[in-house]
Amino acid sequence: MSTPVTYRDLLIDRYRRVYDWVPAGTARVLDVGCGNGHFTKWLRQRAGQVFGVDHNPRNCRAGAREYPDLRLAASAAEGLPFADGSFDCVVCSDTIEHTDSDQAAVDELLRVLAPGGTLVLSMPQGGLFGWLDAENLVPGLFELVRRLRLPKPGGGRVLEAFRFRRHRHYNLAKVESLLAGRLEIQQVYRSGLLLYPLCYLVEKAIECFLGRDLVSRDYRLLRRLRACDYDLAFGPAAFNIALVGRKKEAA
């Protein structure tokens, strides 16, 4: 008799890693950089109350319409609208590399986390193939198009979506520096080598040059390859780094 598919089976790569690291039965979880809540909704299986913040108000409004039981708010990671120690677990998945100040963002994550609470972080490490990072290559392409005054890929519809500052990369020493000894790190996972950044680059390039968002089924093969790569540990050469730890009690 086959085992039924669970909600966890539907998650891939970093989403599954983050999900597994959120302690089951947590009272209050905050997802920082929640987007439109498509991943945040899964955290309802792990916690009593789930909150999410995203810098883009449109994402929060869309998420609130689709998942009315989630509590979503527009906020930058550097200035979270919550009191000290409000959450038993804080998740920040591939977000701090986009912030104006990663140090201020990490300070805020730890401020709203209760002593003894769990912090889950993930971000790009770069590693051996960091130069394939789509978040740097694709905006660079559009900037070149703009400077040369060439016709914009996809009619220019997605140009603004890719105007990010440079995607920062983090090794373990850099993350530890940001944490400044305030977190007892329990696990570190460094994974993905070439297929992860390559598949993500192909996804973004297709979106830009076709000028439309593809649906999940269009990405199925790419995401399976990406997930297989993510499941392999490559240490310092890896493209991704994720860690989980417990906030230390105040001295």
User: Contact 46/8 with Cβ under 8 angstroms?
Assistant: no
Residue whose C-alpha is closest to residue 242's, from 8, 20, 7: 20
Domains of the chain, each with CATH number or no CATH: 1-124+169-191+239-251 (3.40.50.150), 134-166+194-231 (no CATH)
Q: Distance between terminal CA atoms of the chain?
A: 54
Q: How many residues does the chain have?
A: 251
**Residue in the structure block whose two tokens are 């016709």:** 151
- 75-84 pLDDT, tens digit each: 999 999 999 9
According to DSSP, the residues that pair with 123 across neighbouring strands are: 241
**pLDDT for position 160:** 46
- 197-250 pLDDT, tens digit each: 999 888 887 777 665 555 556 677 888 899 999 999 999 999 999 999 999 997
Q: Which two tokens stand for residue 31?
A: 């997802």
